[in-house]
Structure 1
């Protein structure tokens, strides 16, 4: 089949303006695109069917405007789809049942399209989001990694924090929704002292890390074998907290860091990754984390446009180029 006639399937919510930047480029290149938010669209008229027989796999996705042969998908962009919640007209266990069937059924179909390239494969995305797995891969692949402990032992936590000459920070292992007095409350990376550590640590594992004496932060956005580096200068330990106070400028990524990023993506089966580093005055780049589905459109316009083109290139290429 002519790759030119094959579609790109984009899994995201309708308010995802970041995706729009890439879709405009694909439209300019006359590459067919189907956009789907499976967590909601399958309850508002869209239908999904897959059939499996010996030696054959077929499927169809039907939306209000398109019918897509699933064997003709060249690439799947797994962006920011809504979570599966089941039909809104169901309650209780019926909705919970429908939710799980959507997750395992529709999610399984969309993760198993023949001959399609994934950016990123959804199960690889999920596996790579675990910070312990990231740190384990990073230290194996040559990154500098801050001393880190993940523990639910208050004694281990206290001993670790006390041993850090430059101080220690606390980081959540997952950005779990949290509220205070009914208002959403973000849990930022922050400095922590031994006197703050109590028996409450025993409720779950907590992540503590040596504070890197950084001169600035860097975000490296990797798409395939291409990397885009941005230096971030912020008055805050966690630059995400007040992004209106940070400044961003393009920065070259050192070759050893680029090689480790390539190896990291390969080992974790990723095509895309948003890497965060803390850079010291002496020029050492410390790996902090990799978000396998991190946002990127907040960066300087030139970098944002370059990333959008790189993602469009990757999606257009598919697996048969």
Structure 2
């Protein structure tokens, strides 16, 4: 972000409580490749229907996910995550909607977070709806697949949903739910699966509470994120998009910044003052409902 753009964005957003929408581009500086950014490897994510209907596809997915999970669990927040956590702590943000499942916002200290697409650190049974910690499941998978894991190193190419590039998945054993024996699935939204309605409603409420919307690191290719940009624009609220490359929301943006998210968010964190509500002493000021 050059100085002229920084000045423009600061003048536009200063004094306005912000809602923030983040995408995979924010986590690239943490070593997690994005889906569609410049230089991204073409990907063909598994759909929900493929996962639930075909055992071979499910086995392939779990093998790749297990290798990817071992990589993602070691990822750490970058300066962009910390900048957003700082803005929240100073009362500048009404809250944060993230399309990422990596939980790096929470690791950086953000509390008002809506995990729009779910979270990679949890698994859900599709039959009895029991949730399981992903680390606990990893121990079971290690035991079930000691023969498969022998001699394997972590995959180098890992997608934002922990799907690793593993070509040989034959022989990988899938773990079933220990409560009912049902089908386990990572607790995030697959392509072809709907975001839970209460989560969407909470995200809309967060945008309604804000006076502006800041988008960081999302191409807005899928409607699950783009709808919040459209919602803010319909309310004549300023929309600032920071992303390398074109997004589907560029035509709705008040300002579009072609720059890296980490350095841009650092600059905004340093330059944005607390909004009038926070400056007046409203330290307990809260956003709308947040789904965790």
Q: Is the shorter-chain TM-score for this pair beyond 0.5, marking a shared fold? A: no
TM-score normalized by the length of structure 2? 0.31
Structure with the higher helix share, 1 or 2:
2
Which structure has the bigger radius of gyration? Answer: 1
Structure scoring higher RCO (CA < 8 A, sep ≥ 6) equals 2
Structure with the higher strand share, 1 or 2:
1
TM-score normalized by the length of structure 1? 0.29
